[in-house]
């Protein structure tokens, strides 16, 4: 995401640690970062057989209100795409 001055990257992440035994059904989400610093994360699937513990967001507490609003809007859009909108 960019507004021409800032660039925030979305990177897919799972709970599978590099080099560790892989989970059969890992949790899935995205990490939001700027200049290599993680600003927040979104978990849209909880993993495991039932996929519980999904739809969580995490934001750094020290972010300014404008950045929090930007991330909240972007995370909401990602959730709508990944989980479907009401009525689907």
DSSP state of 52: -
Which tens digit of pLDDT belongs to each residue from 64-83?
999 999 999 999 999 888 87
| pLDDT of the residue at 58 | 93
**Above 70 in pLDDT, residue 51?**
no
∠ CA 15-18-21, rounded to 5°: 75
| pLDDT of the residue at 85 | 57
* Structural domain contains residue 2: no
* Structural domain contains residue 15: yes
Q: How many domains, the chain?
A: 1
Percent of the chain scoring above 70 in pLDDT: 81
Arithmetic mean of pLDDT, 47-76 = 87
Q: Which residues constitute the domain of residue 28?
A: 9-83
Please spell the DSSP secondary structure of 1-30, one letter per residue: -B-SS-B-EEEEEES--TTSPPPSS--EEE
| pLDDT of the residue at 20 | 65
> What is the average pLDDT score of the chain?
85
């Amino acid at each position: 995401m960019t507004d021409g001055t800032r660039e925030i990257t979305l990177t897919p992440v799972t709970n599978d640690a590099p080099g560790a035994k892989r989970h059969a059904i890992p949790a899935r989400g995205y990490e939001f970062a700027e200049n290599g610093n993680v600003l927040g994360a979104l978990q849209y699937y909880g993993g495991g057989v039932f996929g519980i513990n999904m739809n969580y967001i995490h934001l750094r507490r020290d972010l300014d209100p404008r950045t929090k609003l930007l991330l909240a809007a972007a995370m909401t859009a990602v959730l709508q795409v990944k989980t479907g909108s009401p009525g689907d």
